[in-house]
């Protein structure tokens, strides 16, 4: 009879540990093979339970660590930078020369016809405004001729006389205002010419009449019985158009004005029916009615346009008035009732003149001396 091997409790514990270690080593290799079981058939279950060594379960709790990093707020102030661009002034190139008239113009006075048409076209080419080259020597042609005469210092006749025809034939440079940049209006009181400049180019020269320089005392047209007094001057300086009246004639304090563009208080550029050779207004700048229509229609002088007035004022020739003129005598009202019979005139009760009576002097009487 074969004898069974006898294992001590210590031996059994060692065998169990070896079995567990083999299992752990196979798992560490990473292989998927199942561990080889160790069969202990000679041990009873109770004996295994008694010999088994139970390893305590160990749980390690890692405390949660929260790290909060506070980034300080950083404010960066960028200094304000102001960039000032230099003002750009555009100077217009000189206008091309106008060829001389060939043949030269004839002195036609104010006659209509082909020669008048040639003169009109030449005035337009040189920058003196008129309504068109139609051969009719009308109002705007006379105004353009006078503007040419004023600009060049000729006699201000408004007629195409010989000196005017000669100079108009040989002049090859367009009219030129003092300004060579910007858009503005120049009023030359010495020449009595208004010039319109657009983008540095003198577009037109127009016959004008500024303040007469004389003292005045006149009835206010809008307030009968009140009087306006002062000296009729157009002040020199730089102004801007600030208000306007677009339609028709308007009643001003000292007369009617046409489609005015105001630039200095009550002083305006306006149309008028009287643009003489010399200063004539109360202070406004007069141009012809067709010229004022052209200014409005072309839009060359919008609100805000600079107006530069330069030149000398005419010296007054008379004393400054101190009292309004005496009103004319008032006629007695007519009290006749229409249809009523006429009232007979009263009889003449004038006594005839008394005849002059002359008493003759008494004769001189001389008494005789008594006898001695």
Residue-wise pLDDT tens digits, 238-284: 999 999 999 999 988 888 999 999 999 999 999 999 999 999 999 99
Mean pLDDT of 14-30: 43
Measure Cα distances from 252 to 30, 193, 242, 302 in Å: 115, 23, 17, 22
Tell me which residue has tokens 């008048």. Answer: 116
Q: Answer yes or no: is pLDDT of 200 > 60.
A: yes
Mean pLDDT of 100-129: 98
Share of the chain above pLDDT 90, in %: 55
Mean pLDDT of 298-318: 97
How far apart CA 343 and CA 42 sit, in angstroms, is 182
Candidate from 12-26, 145-159, 176-190 with smallest mean pLDDT: 12-26
Q: Answer yes or no: is pLDDT of 14 > 50.
A: no
Specify the CATH number of the domain 98-175.
1.10.101.10
Q: Which residues contact 345 (CB under 8 A, 6 or more apart)?
A: none
The residue that leads in pLDDT, 211 or 53, is: 211
Q: What pLDDT score was predicted for residue 54?
A: 44
How far apart CA 253 and CA 258 sit, in angstroms, is 13
Q: pTM of the prediction?
A: 0.64
Q: Between β-strands 237-240 and 285-288, what pairing exists: parallel, antiparallel or unpaired? A: unpaired
Q: What are phi and psi of 14, to 5 degrees?
A: -65, -40
Q: Answer yes or no: is pLDDT of 13 > 80.
A: no
- In this structure, whether the domain defined by 196-310 belongs to CATH 2.40.440.10 is answered with yes
Tell me which residue has tokens 């353009």. Answer: 144
Highest mean pLDDT among 34-48, 164-178, 214-228: 164-178
Share of the chain above pLDDT 70, in %: 62
Q: Between β-strands 237-240 and 306-310, what pairing exists: parallel, antiparallel or unpaired? A: antiparallel
The residue that leads in pLDDT, 241 or 70, is: 241
Mean pLDDT of 150-154: 98
Q: What are phi and psi of 112, to 5 degrees?
A: -85, 165
DSSP H or E segment with residue 288: strand 285-288
Q: Which residues contact 323 (CB under 8 A, 6 or more apart)?
A: 217
Q: Where are the domains of the chain?
A: 98-175, 196-310
The residue that leads in pLDDT, 96 or 16, is: 96
Query: What pLDDT band is residue 49 in, cutting at 50, 70 and 90?
Result: very low
- Do residues 235 and 263 lie in contact, with contact meaning Cβ atoms separated by under 8 Å? no
The residue that leads in pLDDT, 197 or 59, is: 197
How far apart CA 236 and CA 70 sit, in angstroms, is 72
Q: What pLDDT score was predicted for residue 165?
A: 98
Highest mean pLDDT among 24-33, 195-204, 217-226: 195-204
Q: What pLDDT score was predicted for residue 221?
A: 85
- Do residues 291 and 306 lie in contact, with contact meaning Cβ atoms separated by under 8 Å? no
Q: What pLDDT score was predicted for residue 127?
A: 98
């Amino acid at each position: 009879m074969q004898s069974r091997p006898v294992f001590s409790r210590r031996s059994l514990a060692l065998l169990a540990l070896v079995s567990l270690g083999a299992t752990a080593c196979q798992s560490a290799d990473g292989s998927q093979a199942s561990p080889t079981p160790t069969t202990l058939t000679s041990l009873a279950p109770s004996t295994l339970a008694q010999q088994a060594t139970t390893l305590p379960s160990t749980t390690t709790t890692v405390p949660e660590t929260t790290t909060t990093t506070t980034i300080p707020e950083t404010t960066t102030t960028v200094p304000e930078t102001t960039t000032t661009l230099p003002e750009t002034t555009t100077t217009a190139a000189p206008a091309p020369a106008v060829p001389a008239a060939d043949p030269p113009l004839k002195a036609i006075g104010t006659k209509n016809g082909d020669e008048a048409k040639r003169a009109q076209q030449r005035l337009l080419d040189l920058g003196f405004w008129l309504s068109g080259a139609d051969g009719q020597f009308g109002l705007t042609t006379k105004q353009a001729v006078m503007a040419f005469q004023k600009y060049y210092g000729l006699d201000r006749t408004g007629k195409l006389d010989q000196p005017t025809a000669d100079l108009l034939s040989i002049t090859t440079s367009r009219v030129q205002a003092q300004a060579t940049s910007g858009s503005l209006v120049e009023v030359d009181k010495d020449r009595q010419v208004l010039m319109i400049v657009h983008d540095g180019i003198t577009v037109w020269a127009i016959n004008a009449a500024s303040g007469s320089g004389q003292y005045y005392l006149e009835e206010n047209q809008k307030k009968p019985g009140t009087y306006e007094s002062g000296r009729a001057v157009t002040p020199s300086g730089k102004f801007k158009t600030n208000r306007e009246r677009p339609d028709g004639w308007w009643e001003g304090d000292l007369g009617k004005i046409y489609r005015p563009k105001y630039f200095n208080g009550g002083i305006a550029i306006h149309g008028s029916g009287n643009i003489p050779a010399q200063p004539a207004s109360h202070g406004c700048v007069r141009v012809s009615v067709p010229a004022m229509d052209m200014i409005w229609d072309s839009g060359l002088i919008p609100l805000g346009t600079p107006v530069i007035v330069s030149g000398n004022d005419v010296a007054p020739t008379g004393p400054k008035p101190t009292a309004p003129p005496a009103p004319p005598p008032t006629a007695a009202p007519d009290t006749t009732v229409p249809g009523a019979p006429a009232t007979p005139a009263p009889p003449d009760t004038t006594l005839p003149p008394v005849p002059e009576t002359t008493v003759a002097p008494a004769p001189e009487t001389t008494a005789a001396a008594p006898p001695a």
